[in-house]
Structures are given as structure tokens and as C-alpha cells.
């Protein structure tokens, strides 16, 4: 997607939730979108799915998917040709929104039944195959959500996202509600799926450490902007944006005496974001220019980019 902006209309004025975001998910790769709560991660993903609330103020940019321009498609074309079929999404908290009175198998195959009018028996066969693939026993097809553990419910949601064999799956905080060992199992499942299915993934998380194992690349978001992109390993080892540096320093490390640091200050109000670089009020390296002009995405080598004047050559 390039130059995508999504502003919400509110009583206080437009909320700049997504601002001029550029993001690319190469085929078969997983891109991790990380950043603090409220930085616009979910908003970015609903732009791709075109699942927008009613209070939209601005929605602009280009979203190219597999050679097609999604922004030129109508809502009904997106619904019939793209959603579930080409791009599916595991929503934040989705495992708690399974319908309690419908058997989980039927919920998994619902997209097939509704969009492709697949007959019941064939749908069940395909549903059970996806359940096996996501580590669920065939018996679970006839169970109700309350009979499943949290980890199993999340597997149900993932099986549903895969049911129409999409090329891109967007996963919004898919493990946040799970305990650590179940989290690890789900991450392993996603790694297997990515390999077996040649799936592209957009993995949204506030936990950069958890994400690093699965993702090939990272896009770090701050206050509606992408502030750093690069190969996962490189971003972790050698962050180029001060915000990424702070985000990494705030991750508690096992068996380490280093106390995690907190990022001082609070994220900005997106109705009235600070001028220039949005991170400058919290940045330890702030310079004169930072509050005056917005930086570009400066290349810092090996495909890594940072939206920061420290990496530009025009500052001072």
C-alpha cells in the first residue's frame, strides 16, 4: 500500500489514525507491524480489508494487491472477490466473538457456504482438513465454542481465515489473549502455515520480541506513521529510529539484570499531532529541525529505512 491515510471523524475533529503509510508484503513473507496501543495498527489493516466504520473523514492512497488496485474496486467487488478469498483477517479478540450457539465447524466453513454456495458435505470435508492442519481434532467440528480452550478457539479462528485459501492473511494481535506457552504453540503453527502454504502474512503486534521469530521484515508504527522498516534481524540488532530503540529497550529480557526502560511521555493526541516528527516531544536526541519539518524515510543501508532527521543529511 502506498500513501494510505485514514482519518476518523470525531466530535473533537479528525483523528489521524493512519497517515501516509507505505507498506509492502512480499509474496510468501511475513511482515510484522509493531507499535504502542493506539498507533494505528488495526486501522491500517482495516484499510486493506475495507472494513471501515461509518465515521470516516478521509480514506485515500493506493492499495495494490496481486496486480489489482483495491482502491478502484467497489465495496461489493471487495466483498465478493477479495475478502476471505484473497485476503483474510484474524481480528483482534476474534476468539471471544465466536457465536456461542453455532458449532465451531459450521462457523469455520461459513465463508465457503455463503460466498461459494458450497454444499454441506463438501464444506465439512474442507473444514475438517483445515482443522487438522491447524492442530484441531476432527471431533471439534461438532463442538460449541464453550467446549474449547482459548488456544483451540484461536486455532478455529485461524482455520476460518484459511478456509478459502487466501494469499494474504492479516493477523491482528492473534496471541495477546493467550498464556505464554499457548502463545508459542500458535506462533509455531503460523510458522508452519507460512512455509506449507506459501502464505503472505501481515502480523500485527505490540510485542516486537514475540514477532521476531515469524517475521521477515518489520514496520514500526508511531502515531499513525510508519517510522522504520527493515529486515527483522537488522531492526532488532541495529534500530535506526529512536522510537524503535526505546521500544526494544522496553522489552523485559529473561535472565538479564537490565531493568526494562519506560518510554517517557505519552503518545500524542492524534487529533492534534505534534508538528514535524511526531516523536520529537519524547525523543532523547531531539534537534531543532525535528519540530519544524517532517523527516522523510531516509535509507540507512541494506533495505532499512528510518523516518528520522538523524539519518538524513540535511539536518542542522
Ligand X SMILES: Nc1ncnc2c1ncn2[C@@H]1O[C@H](COP(=O)(O)OP(=O)(O)OP(=O)(O)O)[C@@H](O)[C@H]1O
Q: Does 7 bind ligand X (CB under 6 A)?
A: no
- From 39-47, 105-113, 135-143, 182-190, give the range in contact with ligand X by CB under 6 A: 39-47
Contact 149, 129 (CB under 8 A): no
Label the pairing between strands 64-65 and 68-69: antiparallel
Closer to ligand X at the Cβ: 187 or 270?
Answer: 270
Closer to Mg ion at the Cβ: 41 or 282?
Answer: 41
Closer to ligand X at the Cβ: 191 or 206?
Answer: 206
Closer to Mg ion at the Cβ: 92 or 291?
Answer: 92
**Binding string, residues 248-277; x marks residues near ligand X by CB under 6 A:** ----------------------x-------
By the 10 Å C-beta count (0-12 exposed, 13-18 middle, 19+ buried), 33 is classed as buried
Q: Say how many residues touch Mg ion, by CB under 5 A.
A: 3
- From 20-28, 42-50, 143-151, 287-295, give the range in contact with Mg ion by CB under 5 A: 42-50
Closer to ligand X at the Cβ: 37 or 237?
Answer: 37
Closer to Mg ion at the Cβ: 199 or 204?
Answer: 204
Q: Within 13 Å and on the Cβ side, how many CA atoms surround 274?
A: 19
Give how far Cα 185 sits from Cα of 16, 81, 126, Å: 36, 32, 23
Which of ligand X, Mg ion, none binds 206 (CB below 5-8 Å, type-dependent)? ligand X
Q: Say how many residues touch ligand X, by CB under 6 A.
A: 16
Exactly one of 42, 45, 244, 300 binds Mg ion (CB under 5 A); which one? 42
Report the C-alpha gap between 287 and 92 in whole angstroms. 37
Which DSSP letter does residue 236 get? H
Q: Does 42 bind ligand X (CB under 6 A)?
A: yes
Q: What is the smallest separation between the CB atom of 220 and ligand X, expressed in angstroms?
A: 12
Report the C-alpha gap between 173 and 90 in whole angstroms. 8
Q: Does 278 bind ligand X (CB under 6 A)?
A: no
Cα angle vertex 293, ends 62, 229, to 5°? 50
Contact 220, 203 (CB under 8 A): no
Exactly one of 4, 21, 39, 89 binds ligand X (CB under 6 A); which one? 39
Q: What is the smallest separation between the CB atom of 11 and ligand X, expressed in angstroms?
A: 10
Other C-beta atoms closer than 10 Å to the C-beta of 118 total 19
Q: Does 44 bind Mg ion (CB under 5 A)?
A: no
Could you tell me which residues are beta bridge partners of residue 30? 201
Which of Mg ion, ligand X, none binds 10 (CB below 5-8 Å, type-dependent)? ligand X
Contact 82, 76 (CB under 8 A): no
Give how far Cα 271 sits from Cα of 42, 217, 224, 244, 266, Å: 17, 30, 11, 23, 14
Site for ligand X in 50-69 (CB under 6 A): 53, 55
Q: What is the smallest separation between the CB atom of 270 and ligand X, expressed in angstroms?
A: 5
**Binding string, residues 85-104; x marks residues near Mg ion by CB under 5 A:** -------x------------
Exactly one of 5, 22, 58, 92 binds ligand X (CB under 6 A); which one? 92
For 313, the grid coordinates are 543529511
Label the pairing between strands 2-8 and 15-21: antiparallel
Report the C-alpha gap between 62 and 219 in whole angstroms. 18
- Closest by CA to 214, choosing from 31, 26, 24, 34, is 31
Please report, as ranges, the residues that interact with ligand X according to CB under 6 A: 8, 10, 15, 17, 37-43, 53, 55, 92, 206, 270
Please report, as ranges, the residues that interact with Mg ion according to CB under 5 A: 41-42, 92
Amino acid at each position: 500500500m502506498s500513501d494510505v491515510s485514514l482519518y476518523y471523524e470525531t466530535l473533537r475533529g479528525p483523528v489521524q489514525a493512519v497517515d501516509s503509510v507505505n507498506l509492502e508484503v512480499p509474496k510468501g513473507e511475513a511482515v510484522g507491524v509493531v507499535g504502542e496501543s493506539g498507533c494505528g495498527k488495526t486501522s491500517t489493516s482495516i484499510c486493506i480489508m475495507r472494513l471501515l466504520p461509518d465515521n470516516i473523514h478521509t480514506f485515500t492512497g493506493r492499495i495494490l494487491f496481486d496486480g489489482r488496485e483495491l482502491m478502484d474496486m467497489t465495496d461489493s467487488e471487495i466483498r465478493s472477490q477479495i475478502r476471505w478469498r484473497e485476503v483474510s483477517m484474524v481480528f483482534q479478540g476474534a476468539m471471544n466473538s465466536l457465536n456461542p450457539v453455532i458449532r465451531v465447524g459450521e462457523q469455520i466453513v461459513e465463508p465457503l457456504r455463503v460466498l461459494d454456495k458450497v454444499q454441506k458435505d463438501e464444506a465439512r470435508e474442507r473444514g475438517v482438513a483445515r482443522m487438522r492442519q491447524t492442530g484441531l481434532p476432527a471431533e471439534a467440528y461438532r463442538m460449541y465454542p464453550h467446549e474449547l480452550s482459548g488456544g483451540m478457539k484461536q486455532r478455529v479462528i485461524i482455520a476460518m481465515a484459511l478456509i478459502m485459501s487466501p494469499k494474504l492473511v492479516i493477523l491482528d494481535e492473534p496471541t495477546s489473549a493467550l498464556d505464554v506457552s499457548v502463545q508459542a504453540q500458535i506462533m509455531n503453527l503460523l510458522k508452519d502455515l507460512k512455509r506449507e502454504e506459501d502464505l503472505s502474512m501481515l502480523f500485527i503486534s505490540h510485542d516486537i520480541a514475540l514477532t521476531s521469530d515469524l517475521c521477515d521484515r518489520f514496520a514500526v508504527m508511531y502515531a499513525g506513521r510508519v517510522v522504520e522498516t527493515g529486515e527483522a534481524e537488522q531492526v532488532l540488532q541495529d534500530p535506526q529510529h529512536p522510537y524503535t530503540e526505546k521500544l526494544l529497550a522496553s522489552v523485559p529480557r529473561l535472565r538479564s539484570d537490565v531493568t526494562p526502560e519506560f518510554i517517557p511521555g505519552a503518545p500524542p493526541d492524534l487529533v492534534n499531532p505534534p508538528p514535524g516528527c511526531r516523536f520529537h516531544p519524547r525523543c532523547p536526541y531531539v534537534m531543532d529541525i525535528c519540530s519544524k519539518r517532517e523527516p522523510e524515510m531516509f535509507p540507512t543501508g541494506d533495505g532499512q529505512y528510518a523516518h528520522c532527521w538523524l539519518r538524513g543529511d540535511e539536518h542542522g
